Copies of this chain bind each other. A is one copy, B any other.
Amino acid sequence: MQIVEAKANGQSRVDITSYAELYKNELLHNVLPFWEKHSRDEVNGGFFTCLNREGKVYDTDKFMWLQGRQVWCFSYMYHNIEWRKEWMDMALLGAGFMEKHGRDENGNWYFSTTAEGKPLIQPYNIFSDCFAAMGFAALDKILPTDRYKEIAVNTFENILRRQNNWKGKYNKSFEGTRSLKSFSLPMILCNLSIELEHLLGTQRVNSFIPTVIHEVMDVFYQQDHGLILENVYADGSFCNSFEGRLLNPGHAIEAMWFIMDLGKRLNDQALIQKACDIMLHTLEHGWDKTFGGIFYFMDVLNNPPLQLEWDQKLWWVHVEALVALAKGYALTGDDRCLRWFEKVHDYSWKHFRDEAYGEWFGYLDRRGDVLLNAKGGKWKGCFHIPRALYQVWKTFENID
């Protein structure tokens, strides 16, 4: 309804119904089929994610993050869109490989394995565990199975046990000199608990929510800059170091749509509005005024960041912004969300999308030219693009 007003006032040419249709078609005809067609390892099970522009496998290593995310994705689409047998088969192909080859003797998930499932990189990264839990929980929703439940819940409890020292022996920091914390883990724990709500129960899930809202909105959010820092001292204060000055606009924007979802769950309109405002301010701050697109990393004091890739434009940053803007508009009616949606949409569809071979490119240079001519790799798989297309489609479909 706000659309009609906005259009009538000439404020926006955004046609929400067409967008819903566009995102739905893109998901169903351009993105999911790409992974169904190219990523299946028929010999060993699991997914290849290093796919070139045409979908050809250029590297056969398997990254547990991306295996778990793809299991989640196809289970989720089966659960939420349509009971397509091929989608369940995709989820089962990944889960079978993960179950057989993914964990060490303590139940920690390897970072990567060979195509055949021999471990390559040790479980140094707890996010592998997070996405494994997420994948098996989603699969259990479409195919309830004691084994899947057990894997999801055991992995979740293991993450909780490891959460305060999750890098373990791989932690290179000297203890006590500069103790920083990141908001990644509280964020992901809260989300993960929601993904596992059918297994953990609502009461337990609700117990995670106040902490994450406090951490993100009070501790990591810096009122003076209006921005969310990636790392702060354990006591919440600003640390003037490379890590402490780091901004990751895409990460902050993604966090804001999670917070908006929590606001909706809690029926807390003030929280939703605050998250929406922070999201818009982050987007304005992170937008490249010269070439368009959202920077990958910035330094809050405008010093040179450590990350050489700071000025690149990444797929997930842009599609998470589209989700945040769609939800921001749906939940607040703020017309700035619509105007920004249109801008980020135009940029993203022009530069990331590949009409010729399906799926989207992942990495652009500052000017928006393709930097890596591939559809997947060590860090990009079947996750952000389909999730975002689904979220935008459903968010816009449900506004009227």
Interface residues in chain A, defined as those with a beta carbon under 8 Å from any beta carbon in chain B: 50, 52, 58-59, 61, 110-111, 114, 118-122, 124, 169-170, 172-174, 177-178, 240-242, 301, 303-306, 308-309, 311-312, 363, 365-366, 371-374, 377-378
Of the candidates B303, B305, B371, the one whose C-beta lies within 8 Å of that of A311 is B371
* Known A61-B241, A177-B114, A177-B118: A306·B172 in contact at CB below 8 Å: no
Chain B residues positioned under 8 Å from A118 (CB to CB): 174, 177
14 A-B contact pairs sorted by A residue (CB < 8 Å): A58-B303, A59-B303, A61-B241, A110-B174, A114-B177, A120-B174, A120-B177, A121-B172, A121-B174, A122-B173, A122-B174, A304-B373, A308-B309, A309-B309
Q: Determine how close the nearest CB of chain B comes to the CB of A242; give it in whole angstroms.
A: 6
CB contacts (< 8 Å) of A120 on chain B: these are: 173-174, 177-178
Whether A304 contacts B372 by the Cβ 8 Å rule is yes
Give every chain B residue within 8 A of A240 (Cβ-Cβ): 59
Q: Measured between C-beta atoms, what is the minimum distance from A176 to chain B in Å?
A: 9
Contacting pair A119 B177 (CB below 8 A):
yes
List 11 additional contacts besides A59-B303, A120-B173, A169-B169; criterion CB under 8 Å: A50-B303, A52-B304, A61-B242, A111-B172, A114-B178, A118-B174, A121-B172, A124-B172, A170-B172, A305-B372, A309-B309
Instruction: Give the docked Cα–Cα distance between A118 and B178 (Å).
Output: 9
Contact A58 B371 (CB under 8 A): no
Write out the residue numbers on chain B whose beta carbons fall within 8 Å of the beta carbon of A177. 114, 118-120
Whether the pair B309, A52 counts as a contact (CB closer than 8 A) is: no
In the bound complex, CA of A177 to CA of B122 (Å): 11
The 6 closest A-B pairs by CB, nearest first: A308-B309, A119-B174, A304-B372, A304-B374, A58-B303, A118-B177
Q: Are B59 and A242 in contact (CB under 8 A)?
A: yes
B50, B111, B242, B309: the one within 8 Å of A378 (CB): B242
Give chain B residues whose Cβ lies under 8 Å from the Cβ of A110: 174
Q: Which residues of B contact A312 (CB under 8 A)?
A: 308
Given the interface contacts A52-B303, A309-B309, does A121 sit within 8 Å of B371 by beta carbon?
Answer: no
> Of residues A59, A121, A174, A304, which shows the largest number of chain B Cβ atoms within 10 Å of its Cβ?
A304
List residues of chain B with CB within 8 A of the CB of A173: 120-122
What is the distance, in angstroms, from A110's C-beta to the closest C-beta of chain B?
7
Q: How far is the CB of A108 from chain B (nearest CB, A)?
A: 12
In contact, A308 and B178 (Cβ under 8 angstroms): no
Q: How far is the CA of A81 from the CA of B71 in the complex (A)?
A: 64
Q: How far is the CA of A396 from the CA of B174 in the complex (A)?
A: 46
Contact of A241 (CB < 8 Å), options: B59, B169, B241, B305: B59
Which B residues touch A122, using CB under 8 A? Answer: 172-174
Separation in Å of the A296 CB from the closest CB of chain B?
A: 9
Contact flag A377-B306 (CB < 8 Å), given A114-B178, A170-B172: yes
Chain B residues, Cβ within 8 Å of A121: 172-174
